[in-house]
A and B are shown apart, each in its own frame.
Chain A
Amino acid sequence: MYAPEIVAEAVVNGLMSGATYALVALGLTLVYGVLHIVNFAHGALLTCAMFAVLGLNLWLGIDPYWAILPLALIFFAFGYGLQRFIIGPSSHGEDRNTLLVTLGLSIVLENLMLAAFKSDTRSLGADTAFDVLELGPMLISRPRLIGFGVALATAALLWLLLSATDTGRAIRAVAKEKLGAQLVGIDPRHIFAVTFGIGCACLAIAACLLLPTFYVNPRVGNAFVLVAFTIVVLGGMGSIAGALVGGLFVGVVESLGGLLLGESLGQLGIFLIFILVLLVRPTGLFGARA
């Protein structure tokens, strides 16, 4: 059995990983909740964002944390354009088309990155990457702690945006009743694109937080997307609170499972809970009843 401080540190590690998972899941859940599309390009978009962070750092010397705001804006615009001019028009109102379009998009993006950046695994040689905070016996990684804080703040901001602004109200209206929203003068195509843009902005933030401690290669996004899909279903499709709580929960389960059962079997815990939730509460932890 492990000493209590080791277990405590594993929980803290899990929370910090979980916050990043939650951020990736936020974008996914929002896009699903509003557009009702399962965005297969999510992983490839995350990888794009990570390469953007790497590029900004290598060529312009911009610190990943300073890149958060500009990159979030750039990726918002990029996501807006993608949905407005590519995904939306090519779907012709059919969900299964969207599925294929996003899948195709992920293949195109992945191979573009392969062509542009080659297949090397790269990381940022950031000076801060090795910083630790000593809390009693615990050594807590400073970049991951920053990641935790920013992820929580982003989730809170997003929640505020959805509940207190006109755009947020319009997004919720379109999600609930597209025709009704149209009747009161909301342009669903614009709102869809805004939602997709917000999803991409979340990915850009996640990328800025990940890169100081993680690595990037053209396929890296996939590692996070499977777990993000699990979180979305676990937390409830389209629920911000669900994605956050689900993400933190999955992070801790994975971390403790990894410590007690071994890293390979640690993943088992996530999927066992996932199956249980589907059996007992098919709408997810925070999902509204259909």
Chain B
Amino acid sequence: MTDPISRRAALGAGVALAGLAMPRILRAQPAVVKLGILQPLTGALAQDGELGRIGAEAAAAAINKAGGIQALGGAKLELVVADARSNPEAAAQEVEKLQAEGVAAIVGGFASPVCLAASQAAARYDLPYVVDVGVSDQITQRGLTNTFRFAPGFGQVTGTALQNLAKLNEAAGKPCKTVVLVHEDGLFGSGLAKLMQTELPKHGFEILETIAHPTPARDMSNVALRIRSLRPDLVIPSSYYGEFVLLARTMRQQRIRPKGIYAVLNGAASNFRFVKEFPDAALNVMDCNHWHDPKNAEALALKKSVEESGKFWAYNIPLNYSCVKLVADAIQRAGSADRAKLTQALAASDFTGHIMPYGLTKFVQGQNQGARPVNTQVQGEDIKVIFPEEVADAKPVFPVQG
């Protein structure tokens, strides 16, 4: 028996028809560019991971609303969000997943150990990785061509923090001479304290004592007690959010009022939750940290919309917002989401569409040379930028009249 239409012929016709129909479908919908967002959404760092995600999502929404990526025919950015679970091993695993999803690049990481592990895992696939916060200097010293850091690193932040402190003190007639350092006893706090111990005496400060504390700390009464007995002019704390809030509250309660509290890369000193919940304890605390450009309209609009949604503003948001825009801009420059071309475009980028108080973007060995930290101070119930002058939106209150 012969069948007029064999099964094979029918299949062949079907394939041919599908082939005819497909390009039309593709043309009707502009392609999508996938971008990996890696943040510690659960675990110890979940608070920061969530903030980073808010920033990244806001940027993608803004880019898509403005018509997507023009060079790719208005392709939309699609974020693939991955949870680094606050540890480097999980972060590296998530990079594998993002690779399998076919993302063009990865943005995020937050903590230095997460950034180190994730960027290295991404390097195996020549997958561009843009670090959002991770300050460890090691991140950009490994010679990985896929890794770019938009924000300043540890060395630059601490160097600037010390210079600015010295300038601040000189401008006020050198009211502060003695210092107590309080730091968490992990890599971050200890490293910072060590640097301060060698650098502060060069600027004429005398370090009365260096107090280390564990994270989490259940009680800060004794740290406050020691500060009270030492009566320093200045307290320099480097701790994570919970511990610093505890310290500031205890100091306030114990009526310890130094002439200044000058934090460096502090988890709480530039955090609106702290300012809103304990305005008395937070008043006049200074920090040298990442912060958005207070004179940038786009930054202010983003801040307003985040606050209107009932969330607290933090530096993670503008940093991730800027990083996602940086990558979108690089895809536009490259005219392709191809990894090699995108890496080249990032390396040659002179992106200015960010909302940070940075200059022209210029990567040297993966580090953005235009990046810089600023000094903030809690004034009233707001966080103001007090240094450097060209971006500042307030004058420093220093020394603080106790």
Contacts and interface: CB of A to CB of B under 8 A. Distances in A.
B219 A17 contact: yes
Interface residues on A, range: 35 or more
A121 B245 contact: yes
A214 B246 contact: yes
A125 B217 contact: no
Interface of B (DSSP majority class): helix
B212 A262 contact: yes
Contacts of B46: 114, 118-119, 218
Contact of B214 (A121, A219, A263): A263
A267 B219 CA distance: 12
B44 A13 contact: no
Interface string A244-278: 00000000001100110011101100000000000
Interface string A1-24: 011001001100100010000000
Interface string B241-272: 11001100100111100000000000000000
A131 B249 CA distance: 11
Contact of B249 (A129, A254, A258): A129
A2 B228 CA distance: 11
A111 B85 CA distance: 12
A213 B44 CA distance: 21
Given A125-B278, A130-B252, A215 B47 contact: no
A13 B42 CA distance: 34
Nearest to B271: A121
A14 to B, nearest CB: 8
B222 interface: yes
Contacts of B7: none
A114 B219 CA distance: 24
Contacts of A218: 46
Contacts of A222: 216
B64 interface: no
A224 interface: yes
Interface in A33-48: none
B167 interface: no
A119 B47 contact: yes
Contacts of B280: 130
B223 interface: yes
Contacts of B221: 10, 13, 17, 141, 255
B42 A10 contact: no
A83 interface: no
Contacts of A217: 47, 242
Nearest to B241: A121
B394 to A, nearest CB: 25
B213 A264 contact: yes
A123 B247 CA distance: 13
Most B Cβ at <10 Å: residue of A13, A121, A123, A218: A121
B245 A114 contact: no
Nearest to B221: A13
B298 interface: no
A71 B171 CA distance: 54
B253 A139 contact: yes
B55 interface: no
Interface of B: 42, 44-47, 49-50, 185, 211-214, 216-219, 221-223, 225-226, 228-229, 241-242, 245-246, 249, 252-255, 273, 277-278, 280, 312
22 contacts: A3-B229, A6-B226, A9-B225, A10-B221, A13-B219, A111-B42, A118-B50, A119-B50, A120-B312, A129-B253, A139-B255, A215-B246, A218-B46, A219-B44, A220-B242, A255-B221, A255-B222, A258-B222, A262-B212, A263-B213, A263-B223, A264-B185
Interface of A: 2-3, 6, 9-10, 13, 17, 111, 114, 118-123, 125, 129-132, 139, 141, 213-215, 217-220, 222-224, 227, 254-255, 258-259, 262-264, 266-267
Given A2-B229, A120-B47, A262-B211, 8 more contacts: A118-B47, A141-B221, A214-B246, A219-B44, A220-B216, A254-B219, A255-B221, A259-B226
